[in-house]
Structure 1
């Protein structure tokens, strides 16, 4: 069974159905320290993403679960510096698959810094412990994933319209389940960008970036026991933020990518890679967004060496009243795979993920928020890769308060 990373889709679904710390903190920050608390309930009719042609674990596909969260939020401006931090713990309990019960952790700190009139930047550190997704992993065992991230960047204003920026990031992923430890990895990224920003507020930049991935555990493989998923990726892209009109913004990060990932054969791929997003904010109550992307991504598999993801998203936000907001989106992503070696059917490997999401948020009072949401996810599947078709529907309600 494959374990695949498709960040655009996972990020959007996670943002919609992760209980509400992110949305609770989206409002303009208040100075000082505050306490956070939240409760939630959800039902997923295919919790473990079991394929249509597979027998359910314990004869059951769906399950409901309850979440309780508590934490501390800190935000402070000191002269020209701003510091923000969040420390949150959560307890998730499942009604049927109680072996999945877990304690979540979410720690993060950000320092937006300025030095004089020409130097500015951001430093971040975070730690998160959550249940890893089961989209491409067929199991009913608990598999917690820990992610540690460090990030630092600095920008130098060479001229009122020109800026030079450099940044570094380190992400480390660790999986609890022994059968998934070959997905443990560390990714290090470094980039430099030259930015031009005229008085109009639009900007264009040229970004050079390198990413290095290190997998400490080799993937089980009888044909080649030394098979490694280590990779390097070099990118040269243009970053555009165009304020087309007072209500329309176009954003793009598009360019050339070359990836080297040792495997059977040469293990190299290259081509156009990028994402374009349009935001339309008219004077009415509805805001619209749309994105298209074409991105290479690594695949943790002994059969295929990488995937080319092509996708599109449309979304809208409706400010129904001063206290009620509704968000909706639809996503389609096709994943085309490149085999490590030729075999019958290896020239036609692909599947697709579709999802639809809607969420309503009621700001009961300034510090009390209630949410309700629905999500649908479906995969077309690929028989050759063992990713069979499935459908899943999730309903969720939650409430949170900042004291």
Structure 2
């Protein structure tokens, strides 16, 4: 399959290379010859990359779909250019990344799009005891086909602004507060009822041990607003909600090689329409990090939380899942990674609106990759994935794929 990534296969990969792809080739050659070793500066790092991928079921067609198996796959090429920033300003620190990509599909070329991903964060300090973050982000990408399986380009734009701050009024105690807002919009008219704004406000009090471990209590309110109401049998349905949280906030350092983080507690969620969907109970996420001699790093995560669904059937779900991620530094130039994830979703549906025969699904996904840096500024990556979902017949699919990428940072 790897060789087929670069075969003709009736694809535009065999056509003359684009200027961006040509530039990437030149830069790779420069890096390999040693001409690109020097960084442009200590704070600004431009980079370029090119990725060739194969997906056996790009649109995530259901197993019972009439679409033939040989018409579900596609090859795609992504070229990307960007710059990362890490700039100390006195005691403050400004970081950010700005990148633009062009994604071209061989078979489903109506999906070709330009991706954008911009984010910045200011870590601020006032005196010795006041600190926090001020940040924002903008991202434009193709909506996942996992829940929206139409051969139509549906770009999602996500915007985020956030501010938080804390005051360490005692060596062992810190009070904090935060605010964030995220806005999601879709350009496909059939999906614009999923346009929404999510606001999150929280306050907390933490006890800080001499080891750096932290235990605290956090109270928060989340609000989701859907401005374009979904029409069911001619009746508008408002999926807006309010969610109140009281959670335990833990960051425990067992040693230099193992740490545990958790934000979990009781959550109550109420909807503006059809109160039978309201629920309450345990909600949260916990993560355990472990490393061995800095060569092997593992992260295990478990969660129970609400999430939005980009679907024509439902807007929200309650998700329970676990994941495992591992990175192994094989040599100074080569590393391997692996991840496994399983998640069950229980859909928060309104009777008579969804056509699902089951109101839950179960997704298992696996990823593995190998990274190689022949010279300092160049990194090559070979990756593979497999994803299976079971649930309602119309919501069950299987897919797998492989990708090869090259990245140069200056």
TM (norm. structure 1) is 0.86
Change in CA separation of 1:145 and 1:197 when aligned onto 2, cut-off 3 Å: same
Asked whether 1:216 is paired with 2:227, we answer yes
Q: Which residue of 1 aligns with 2:242?
A: 232
SS in 1 for 2:230: coil
- Which of 45, 48, 59 is 2:59 aligned to? 48
In structure 1, distance between residues paired with 2:312 and 2:102: 35
In structure 1, distance between residues paired with 2:111 and 2:365: 24
Q: Which residue of 1 aligns with 2:326?
A: 316
SS in 2 for 1:220: strand
- Which of 376, 386, 404 is 1:397 aligned to? 404
Q: How does 1:2-401 map to 2 (within 5 A)?
A: 31-56=42-67, 60-222=71-233, 225-283=235-293, 285-299=295-309, 306-341=316-351, 349-383=359-393, 386-387=394-395, 389-401=396-408
- Number of aligned residues: 371
CA displacement, residues 295-317 of structure 1 (integer Å, 9 cap, x when unaligned): 23355678767532111112221
User: 8 Å contact 1:261–1:305 — kept in the other structure?
Assistant: no
SS in 2 for 1:296: strand
SS in 2 for 1:107: strand
CA displacement, residues 196-233 of structure 1 (integer Å, 9 cap, x when unaligned): 1111121112111111111110112116x121011111
CA displacement, residues 109-157 of structure 1 (integer Å, 9 cap, x when unaligned): 1111111111111111111111110101120001111111101111111
Please state how far the C-alpha of 1:245 moved relative to its aligned partner: 3.4
SS in 2 for 1:136: coil
User: 8 Å contact 2:380–2:407 — kept in the other structure?
Assistant: yes
In structure 2, distance between residues paired with 1:254 and 1:340: 27
CA displacement, residues 38-83 of structure 1 (integer Å, 9 cap, x when unaligned): 1111000100001011123896100001111112222211110111
TM (norm. structure 2) is 0.85
In structure 1, distance between residues paired with 2:182 and 2:96: 19
Change in CA separation of 1:166 and 1:265 when aligned onto 2, cut-off 3 Å: closer
Please state how far the C-alpha of 1:248 moved relative to its aligned partner: 2.1
CA displacement, residues 150-198 of structure 1 (integer Å, 9 cap, x when unaligned): 0111111111111111111110111111110011111111111111111
In structure 2, distance between residues paired with 1:73 and 1:279: 26
RMSD: 2.5
SS in 2 for 1:180: helix
Change in CA separation of 1:247 and 1:158 when aligned onto 2, cut-off 3 Å: same
Q: Which has the larger radius of gyration?
A: 2
Please state how far the C-alpha of 1:262 moved relative to its aligned partner: 2.6
Q: Which residue of 2 aligns with 1:9?
A: none
Change in CA separation of 1:276 and 1:31 when aligned onto 2, cut-off 3 Å: same
Change in CA separation of 1:348 and 1:221 when aligned onto 2, cut-off 3 Å: closer
Q: Which residue of 1 aligns with 2:4?
A: none
Q: Which residue of 2 aligns with 1:13?
A: none
In structure 2, distance between residues paired with 1:170 and 1:46: 34
CA displacement, residues 340-367 of structure 1 (integer Å, 9 cap, x when unaligned): 3499x99963210000011222123222
Please state how far the C-alpha of 1:34 moved relative to its aligned partner: 2.7
Change in CA separation of 1:347 and 1:40 when aligned onto 2, cut-off 3 Å: closer
| Unmatched runs of 5 consecutive residues or more in structure 2 | 1-39
In structure 2, distance between residues paired with 1:207 and 1:221: 38
User: 8 Å contact 2:148–2:310 — kept in the other structure?
Assistant: no
CA displacement, residues 77-106 of structure 1 (integer Å, 9 cap, x when unaligned): 111011123221111111111000011111
